Amino acid sequence: MFIVPEREIANLMTRSAAFDAVESVFASMASNDAYNFPVVREALGHEDALYGFKGGFDQKGLTLGLKAGGYWPHNLEKRGVINHQSTVFLFDPDTGMVKAMVGGNLLTALRTAAASSVSIKHLARKDSKVIGMIGAGHQATFQLRSALEVGNFEEVIAWNYHPEMLSNIEKIAVEANVPFRAVQLENMRDADVIISITSAFNPSLLEEHVSPGTHIACMGTDTKGKQEVESSLLAKARVFTDEIAQSISIGESQHAISEGLIAEADIIQLGAVINGSQKGRTSSDQITLFDGTGVGLQDLAVASSVVDLAIKSGVAIELDF
Ligand code: NAD
């Protein structure tokens, strides 16, 4: 088996390679060439941590495996390590033997940012100029960096529950040479695209904060009980997701579904838009909403590319296991 340590990932994986891997696996999921296993996600009752497993099998790419990990909210302040911790394990689909163990922290951020960027490419209005960020934590910076490479944005506006963290977002905007403005939630009406990536359990973004024609990528809600946007927004929007089973159980749609505001049949797989079997945005004043719950196949797709790159460049550690 091969080990690709976390420290090597930054030198191996690019944002554009992550984008391509995620766009392609979303398409494979929608054409039933790849499927995700049910997610296991548990509150450990220790360090307030949420821990779980996300796995899947891509029959076309012959990628089998899982990501084990989760969210430890006190890591940064108590231990100086990031709150998300994960590791990807890949198996040989012909024998079941373990093939690789790959550091999953940076890969998670890259594949999550790639997912919202894929949604922006396929669902946002082509004339989108202002991107709004809700959230300013670890994932948010990756989200913005990736989105700025996909769209021709001329301004970044941002709101965060903890305003002192907004400098994280400003830094990315400055690096990309795009003007930055810290705003109140009402000012999200100025945004053409909004990415929400927080660990909130109550909605911040309300229907009244969103203008017609906006594309919203809801990326933070990946667990039962979490919520970032008012559920009536989902009733108003054309709703897309990575994986419908996850969207209705652990994603943003869980609330709109349980309140009877939308039905499962109203939710469209983003991969079906990529494949051309479903329409994406149908008018310029329609609100589109991508419920990005994060699927195991995204992790396996990026981890598999990294293993190939690590073997080629000689940094993969080979073990007789
Ligand atoms: P982080 O701890 O670095 O940042 C948390 C963010 O949430 C900060 O902006 C913080 O100010 C904000 N926040 C905290 N409490 C809030 C509240 N009550 N109301 C509004 N905002 C609040 O975490 P992170 O690593 O950036 O992860 C953010 C979220 O993204 C987590 O919920 C995580 O589980 C989720 N996530 C989703 C995916 C996916 O594929 N969809 C992947 C990775 C992470």
The CATH number covering residue 63 comes to 3.30.1780.10
Question: Within this chain, do residues 289 and 306 fall inside the same structural domain, yes or no?
Answer: no
pLDDT of residue 223: 86
Atom of ligand 1 nearest to the CA of 226: 32
As a whole number, the mean pLDDT across the chain is 96
Question: Within this chain, do residues 200 and 271 fall inside the same structural domain, yes or no?
Answer: yes
Question: Within this chain, do residues 132 and 97 fall inside the same structural domain, yes or no?
Answer: no
Partnered with residue 158 across adjacent β-strands are 133, 182
Question: Within this chain, do residues 39 and 148 fall inside the same structural domain, yes or no?
Answer: no
In a domain, 196, yes or no: yes
Kindly report the number of other CB atoms within 10 A of residue 266's CB atom.
15
In a domain, 85, yes or no: yes
In a domain, 167, yes or no: yes
The number of C-alpha atoms within 13 Å of 209 and in the hemisphere containing its C-beta is 23
Question: Within this chain, do residues 272 and 132 fall inside the same structural domain, yes or no?
Answer: yes
In a domain, 21, yes or no: yes
Total domains present in the chain: 2
Question: Within this chain, do residues 285 and 312 fall inside the same structural domain, yes or no?
Answer: no
Sequence-separated contacts (24+) of 78-86 with Cβ below 8 Å: 82/138, 83/137, 83/138, 84/108, 84/109, 84/138, 84/139, 86/299
**CA nearest neighbour of 245 among 301, 296, 194, 304:** 296
In a domain, 118, yes or no: no
CA 138 – ligand 1 centroid, Å: 8
* Residue for token pair 């054309």: 238
In a domain, 264, yes or no: yes
* Structure confidence by residue, pLDDT tens digits, 231-279: 999 999 999 999 999 999 999 999 999 999 999 999 999 999 999 999 9
Atom of ligand 1 nearest to the CA of 136: 9
Catalytic residues: 67
In a domain, 116, yes or no: no
pLDDT of residue 61: 87
CA 52 – ligand 1 centroid, Å: 16
Question: Within this chain, do residues 306 and 279 fall inside the same structural domain, yes or no?
Answer: no
Best residue for ligand 1 mutational test, from 143, 199, 270 (most atoms within 8 Å of Cβ)? 199
Question: Within this chain, do residues 274 and 311 fall inside the same structural domain, yes or no?
Answer: no
From residue 55, give the alpha-carbon distance in Å to each of 1, 89, 169, 219, 296: 19, 9, 31, 19, 4
Q: Which helix (DSSP H) or strand (DSSP E) does residue 317 occupy? A: strand 317-318
* Residue for token pair 């940076």: 106
Q: How buried is 181 (Cβ within 10 angstroms: 0-12 exposed, 13-18 middle, 19+ buried)?
A: middle
* Structure confidence by residue, pLDDT tens digits, 123-163: 999 999 999 999 999 899 999 999 999 999 999 999 999 99
Question: Within this chain, do residues 202 and 314 fall inside the same structural domain, yes or no?
Answer: no
C-alpha 157/C-alpha 14 separation (Å) is 25
Domain that holds residue 14: 2-108+297-318
**Would the pTM of this model clear 0.85, i.e. be above it?**
yes
pLDDT of residue 44: 96
Average pLDDT over residues 199-226: 96
CA 242 – ligand 1 centroid, Å: 18
Question: Within this chain, do residues 274 and 304 fall inside the same structural domain, yes or no?
Answer: no
Question: Within this chain, do residues 67 and 160 fall inside the same structural domain, yes or no?
Answer: no
C-alpha 180/C-alpha 209 separation (Å) is 19
CA 314 – ligand 1 centroid, Å: 35
**CA nearest neighbour of 67 among 41, 47, 29:** 41
Question: Within this chain, do residues 151 and 279 fall inside the same structural domain, yes or no?
Answer: yes
* Structure confidence by residue, pLDDT tens digits, 85-132: 999 999 999 999 999 999 999 999 999 999 999 999 999 999 999 999
CATH number at residue 264: 3.40.50.720
In a domain, 133, yes or no: yes
pLDDT of residue 289: 98
Q: Quick check: 41 pLDDT over 90? A: no
Atom of ligand 1 nearest to the CA of 134: 9
Percent share of the chain, pLDDT over 90? 96
Nearest alpha carbon, ligand 1 atom 33: 220
